Amino acid sequence: MGNWKRPEEVPFPSIWRTFERRDADGVARKYWVQDLTPEYEDIFIDNMKKIFLKDEPVCKYSNFAEDPQAVQDFTDLWRYGFSHKLGIICLTEDENGKIEFVGGNMTALSEKGTKGGIEDKCKTYQKVLSVFIYVTKKRDIFNELNINEYLTAFGLFVLPKFRGQGIATEILKARRELCLAVGIKASATIFTSIISQKNARQAGFKDFVEIDYDDLEKINPMWNFPGITSFTKSIKYMYIQYS
């Protein structure tokens, strides 16, 4: 985890962004993006398993969700991410005032010089995570942006009933307020889907590294994800700086 700690003067939990959307019946709903708190951790992980692992292209086209050990290895990574107190979730209230869980982003800290091995993980997990590691190492974001840490993420999802309203983009935009509050100057993430890449652009992210999936397989035959190019052409490492 390194030396970084969330500043004690930053309230936990905090609400980082609020916005409104109209539901299918035209009724306006208020949404907010806040810190991921302990009471939502299991809900978050359950939805990451049921939704994210089956929707995210690299996981989907490697049958990640069908490998129990791979799912456990990813769960361990998410649990580790909770320790940073940087994860964010989106909530709303229904017409009866009941709070509903909408989605979330497993944001966490990446620090310069920190090393994390995957050698002791299962093959499916190694296959997927090694792709992400390779792409992030194509360029040295720490030196190029002159930073010692940045906000990264291990998964973004919105529940199906709330999709099509731009909520994923709002969750990504909330990173700005979070980062400014805790003193982080940039955010960078691997976006593997044409949909998440569009959401990231709408939130102000810029391309840093892009590699076609066909080229990934040429670099390493292990990085073969049959059918993925019918959905998404390339994998992108995208970033945004805050001031």
pLDDT digits (tens, 9 = 90+) for 73-96: 999 999 988 988 999 999 999 888
3-state secondary structure of 140: coil
Task: Round to whole Å and give the CA distance between 99 and 58.
Answer: 32
Whether the pLDDT of residue 1 is over 90: the answer is: no
pLDDT of residue 125: 96
Report the pLDDT averaged over residues 59-82. 95
The structural domains of the chain, with segments of one domain joined by +, span: 15-241
pLDDT of residue 85: 95
Tokens of 135: 């792409």
15-241: CATH topology is Aminopeptidase (3.40.630)
pLDDT tens per residue across span 113-139: 877 678 889 999 999 999 999 999 999
pLDDT tens per residue across span 169-209: 999 999 999 999 999 999 999 999 999 999 999 999 999 99
Confidence band, pLDDT 50/70/90 cuts, at residue 31: very high
Confidence band, pLDDT 50/70/90 cuts, at residue 34: very high
Task: Round to whole Å and give the CA distance between 100 and 117.
Answer: 36
pLDDT of residue 24: 72
How far lies 119's CA from each of 31, 127, 129, 203, in Å?
41, 11, 11, 34
**At CA 25, angle to CA 24 and CA 28, rounded to 5?**
90
Tokens of 156: 């973004």
Report the pLDDT averaged over residues 27-48. 95
3-state secondary structure of 79: helix
Task: Round to whole Å and give the CA distance between 41 and 153.
Answer: 15
